[in-house]
């Protein structure tokens, strides 16, 4: 990456300057932030969707949201942590919207086979078959309380360790473990009902 050539001591300062300038409306500073972080955001979107085209679309959506929300960034956490959280929320929100759209199309009498085929292709491995019925894991995840959902996605989907999550989310390691346990229990209940 471009930051590899930059001394570590200058990285956060330069990035901090770009964050402040972009928050004030400087498009060139925002472009630098985009170049610096777009690959990481794309990777996150790809891991969460399993679909290259959808990951590209969501990456753009994330940076549109970053541009809109940047003036609200207070610096209480690292910019990368804030942006990562925003990206996770954008992907989860998109999944929820897609699930609702699918449900509406199915209710309106669309061809069931056609709808399921389209949905299965888009959802990839997120669809789970249980006792012969289709269970929508995405909906179950989207219904989790925000804290539990965030820890679940970051730990079980993204592969972060509890210690990393604690630092990223500003919680204790024990709190991260408790949120993950809660998320798994709620998901288990949702998938078994």
Is pLDDT of 122 > 60? no
According to the model, what pLDDT value does residue 151 have? Answer: 87
* φ, ψ for residue 128, nearest 5 deg: -125, 140
E strand map for the chain: 127-130, 133-136
Higher-scoring residue by pLDDT: 104, 169: 169
Least confident of 24-33, 116-125, 172-181: 116-125
CATH number belonging to domain 2-126: 1.10.1740.10
* Domain locations along the chain: 2-126, 143-193
Q: pLDDT band at residue 13, thresholds of 50, 70 and 90?
A: low
pLDDT in tens, 18-43: 999 999 999 999 999 999 999 999 98
pLDDT tier at 7, thresholds 50, 70, 90: very low
Residue 188 pLDDT > 90: no
We find that the CATH architecture of domain 143-193 is Orthogonal Bundle (1.10)
pLDDT digits (tens, 9 = 90+) for 64-119: 999 999 999 888 888 998 998 899 889 888 877 776 666 566 555 544 433 333 33
pLDDT of residue 130: 41
Going by C-beta distance under 8 Å and a sequence separation of 6 or more, which residues neighbour residue 16? 75, 79
Higher pLDDT, 121 or 28: 28
User: What are 136-161's pLDDT values in tens digits?
Assistant: 677 788 788 888 888 888 888 777 88
What is the structure's pLDDT at 5? Answer: 40
The predicted structure's pLDDT at residue 32: 94
Phi, psi of 117 (to 5 degrees): -65, -45
Which residues are bridge partners to 187 per DSSP?
none
**Cα separation, 193 vs 2, whole angstroms:** 49
Residue 28: its pLDDT value, please?
95
């Amino acid at each position: 990456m471009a930051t590899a050539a930059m001394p570590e001591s200058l990285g956060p300062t330069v990035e901090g300057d770009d964050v402040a300038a972009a928050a004030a409306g400087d498009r060139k500073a925002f472009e630098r932030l985009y170049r610096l972080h777009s690959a990481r955001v794309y990777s996150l979107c790809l891991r969460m969707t399993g679909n290259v085209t959808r990951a590209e679309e969501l990456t753009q959506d994330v940076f549109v949201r970053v541009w809109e929300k940047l003036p609200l960034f207070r610096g209480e956490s690292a910019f990368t942590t804030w942006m990562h959280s925003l990206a996770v929320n954008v992907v989860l929100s998109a999944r929820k919207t897609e699930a609702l759209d699918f449900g509406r199309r199915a209710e309106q009498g669309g061809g069931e086979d056609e709808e399921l085929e389209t949905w299965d292709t888009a959802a990839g491995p997120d669809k789970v078959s249980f006792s012969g019925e289709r269970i929508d894991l995405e909906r179950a995840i989207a219904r989790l309380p925000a804290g539990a959902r965030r820890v679940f996605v970051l730990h079980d989907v993204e592969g972060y360790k509890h210690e990393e999550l604690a630092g990223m989310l500003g919680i204790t390691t024990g709190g991260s473990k408790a949120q993950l346990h809660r998320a798994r229990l709620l998901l288990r209940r949702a998938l078994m009902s």
